[in-house]
Structure 1
Amino acid sequence: MIFYILFGILFFLSLIYYSGKKYPFAQTAYLHFCVFCLFLIIAGGRNNVGTDWWQYKETFDNYVIDHNYVHASLEVLFYGFTGFIASFSKSFNVFVFFLFLLSFFLKYRFIVNNSSNVFFAFLIYLSGVFLIFDVNGLRQGLAIGFILYSCKFIFSRNIWGFLFMIILATLSHSSAIVFFPAYFLLNIQYSTKKYVIFCLILSLLGYWVSLCVGDLLVLLTTDSTLAEKYNYYSSGDSYVSKVSLFSVSTLRRFALYGVVLYFTRNKIDTSTYFFKNCMVVSFFFFFLFSSSLEMAYRISYYFFVFEIVLVPYCITCIHHVKFRYCFLLVMGSYYLYMIYKLVSVPTGGLYIYHNIFLN
């Protein structure tokens, strides 16, 4: 229920700020801060919520028991942060609070600086990144935060700042390394027709390469764990779902990108093209790991995550207020459905919600 209440608040604020009326900066900043606090209370104060809760708690407890404990993983930033918090607090809830505070602050800065309607951007964030990564996949949630924050260095052409963010993201979740080519996607502009063509070509190319991606991981990397992880996700009992070119999830992703292309067809600023470039690249990775829907979604979302700022801008582009509200209702219903799908699954870790601040 708490997630639906948050959705309602964000949708109401989105309606107000899509009216076209200008509001004082101080009032808007105050509302932004209130939304920040709401997310912090809901995610930072959660208790026994999330599919990976007990797995991460076990690791945290190992650090509490043995301060010399070292987790055998390449993701040393995440586990180093775990050990740091465990060195002065034995409460896993304290770790969850400070981890989310760091992770969400990075995303918050990106959204506030790049969205035409911050509240609807947070609504989209709620339906995807928040429920899937920040509540369930803690490591990748932190990695996505660094990825989004790295965009400021891409726009300023600061390669060293960008590389530093990519390193931090990779040390949080090793899969974040795939975002490295994004630095070279700035200042690339195509017509809508070419974006459609590239989308189809990259999808088919990714699907074709996916037939041998497991063997390529063995040949091109010295770390056998990458191939082992791929085989686990693509053939394990818990991750047997595969991506089809004509599945509902695939068609939904194509449709959303089509909406973005249509409404941004006359937008010529650099950042919008960069976000569209990233989204088109996401289709390659989505189909590259098509043998596992879990991996396909996780890897490709480093690039598809920019729906958070592009979809609100699409609504802003509609000048007629009534039509704008109608489209807002359509997109709001879509993201509400996405929240319902995630929250209503009894085994999804979100079905029963507890909070140390609210209970």
Structure 2
Amino acid sequence: MLHPIFLLPFILLLFLLLWEDSLKPKQTRYILLFVFFILFIAAGGRNNVGADFPIYKSMYNGGFTLYTTYQDIWKKATFQPNSMEIEWLYVLINRILYEAGFPFYTLTFLVAGLILFLTYKIMEKYSDYPSFSFLYFFMPVYFIITCGHMRQGLGGAIVVYSIHYIFQRKLGKFLFMMFLALGFHKSTIIFLPAYWLVRLPFNIKHWIILLIISIALAPFQVYRIFGDAFASITPQDVSNAYTGYNVDKTYGNEMKTGFADIMNVILIIILLLYNKIGEKKVYYYEYFRNLAFFGICLFYILRGNQIFATRLPGVYIGMGFSFIIPGIIANSSLNIKRQLKLFFFLFFIFFYFLFVRSNGKKLNFTYDRYNNILWEWLS
């Protein structure tokens, strides 16, 4: 079992999934804000919990101050040749907090708060069921990024928030958000085409054809063909990361068939079955559909490399689960709505036990392993 600090928010989100329609909007919002607060405490105060925690802590406690200067950070931010391996904005925040005398946990609380705030605001604005969207984020994205890969998590949260400027067609603000996101994690550059992808005049038949082509191309690893050209037009750290992961012995292997494929199949089936409902009733449906299908196609094209397939398409595919599915549920008939809610209720429970079995104990999220620094401070 997960620790109660995670189990309580999960139960509340499952409750909202089934009974949100019976509550007033204010009641739903208060519950979500309470969930937000609990998850903020759980992620911000975690002590030796989650992926990369020891590495982030060691880098903060003197690591960046020893081998970087503000001139290095400036060169990194302005895409000049430099020797820094970690993204500039993350390093800058670390240095400022460390030199001001704040403990490492100031950083974890700051990162957790920003990720949760940006995610909540965009889901509240564009999701018909923010509770469903946040449930998808919680299980398991929250554990992987907010409580794990903080750089990618914060960069991803900024990317997700940038869709507001995509829909408003404000290119300058979108590019600024992408610049900030790139300052936290180089993988966020994959979302740059989204500004133009949303306007592609593709219907679902076009995307199915592209999906079939992508699956057929998967064994040929076509992304390697264009790798040199991609590396030559991207910033130094992006091109270096591409080259490094391409030859990495651990993560450069082929992505095995597994739960990610099941998630893709679920999303594709819902898009096929309820496409007409989406086109008629879901706000920005075509935009989200373009992003989601592009992500699925990208997943199969990149599945020859595990790290590319897991890190790059996720933000695109997440648009489908976070915005399309809640929109379809909200605008379907009562019978379909009940069926979909029951299906996802059971699905997330299954996902819960799958996650606990695979990563819960290993990453110290379980009731017997989780620890929070606040408890030590208060005792």
User: Do the aligned residues in 1 keep the contact of 2:231 with 2:238 (CA within 8 Å)?
Assistant: no
C-alpha displacement of 1:5:
3.0
1:140 has 2:155 as partner: no
Which of 309, 319, 326 in structure 1 is aligned with 2:333? 319
Query: 1:281 matched to which residue of 2?
Result: 294
SS in 1 for 2:284: helix
C-alpha displacement of 1:129:
2.1
Q: 1:28 to 1:337 in 2, by over 3 A?
A: closer
C-alpha displacement of 1:312:
2.0
Query: 1:176 matched to which residue of 2?
Result: 188
Letter in 2 for 1:308: S
Deviations 1:3-58 (A, max 9, x none): 333211110122111xx4461x4333322321221221111121111120011111
Unaligned runs of 5+ in 1: none
C-alpha displacement of 1:195:
2.7
Identity %: 23
SS in 2 for 1:357: helix
Query: 1:41 matched to which residue of 2?
Result: 41
Query: 2:133 matched to which residue of 1?
Result: 121
Cα distance in structure 1, aligned partners of 2:234 and 2:17: 48
Q: 1:75 to 1:118 in 2, by over 3 A?
A: same
Query: 1:357 matched to which residue of 2?
Result: 374
Letter in 2 for 1:266: I
1:328 has 2:341 as partner: yes
Q: 1:207 to 1:305 in 2, by over 3 A?
A: farther
Q: 1:114 to 1:102 in 2, by over 3 A?
A: same
C-alpha displacement of 1:206:
5.6
User: Do the aligned residues in 1 keep the contact of 2:65 with 2:95 (CA within 8 Å)?
Assistant: no
Q: 1:337 to 1:4 in 2, by over 3 A?
A: farther
Query: 1:196 matched to which residue of 2?
Result: 208
Cα distance in structure 2, aligned partners of 1:165 and 1:228: 22
Which of 11, 14, 17 in structure 2 is aligned with 1:11? 14
Unaligned runs of 5+ in 2: 74-83
TM-score (norm 1): 0.87
Comparing 1-10 with 41-50, greater Cα deviation is found at 1-10
Cα distance in structure 2, aligned partners of 1:291 and 1:170: 24
User: Do the aligned residues in 2 keep the contact of 1:75 with 1:172 (CA within 8 Å)?
Assistant: yes
Letter in 2 for 1:6: P
Cα distance in structure 1, aligned partners of 2:193 and 2:326: 25
SS in 1 for 2:192: helix
Cα distance in structure 1, aligned partners of 2:371 and 2:212: 43
Query: 2:268 matched to which residue of 1?
Result: 257
User: Do the aligned residues in 1 keep the contact of 2:126 with 2:323 (CA within 8 Å)?
Assistant: yes
C-alpha displacement of 1:83:
1.4
C-alpha displacement of 1:237:
5.0
Q: 1:68 to 1:201 in 2, by over 3 A?
A: closer
Q: 1:207 to 1:277 in 2, by over 3 A?
A: farther
1:56 has 2:41 as partner: no
User: Do the aligned residues in 1 keep the contact of 2:47 with 2:373 (CA within 8 Å)?
Assistant: yes
Letter in 1 for 2:325: V
TM-score (norm 2): 0.82
Cα distance in structure 2, aligned partners of 1:339 and 1:42: 17
Which of 290, 300, 308 in structure 1 is aligned with 2:322? 308
Query: 2:362 matched to which residue of 1?
Result: 347
1:110 has 2:122 as partner: yes
Q: 1:48 to 1:214 in 2, by over 3 A?
A: farther
C-alpha displacement of 1:335:
2.6
Q: CA RMSD in A?
A: 2.9
Query: 1:151 matched to which residue of 2?
Result: 163
Cα distance in structure 1, aligned partners of 2:209 and 2:268: 13
Q: 1:52 to 1:276 in 2, by over 3 A?
A: same
C-alpha displacement of 1:108:
1.0
Cα distance in structure 2, aligned partners of 1:65 and 1:75: 14
Cα distance in structure 2, aligned partners of 1:297 and 1:281: 14
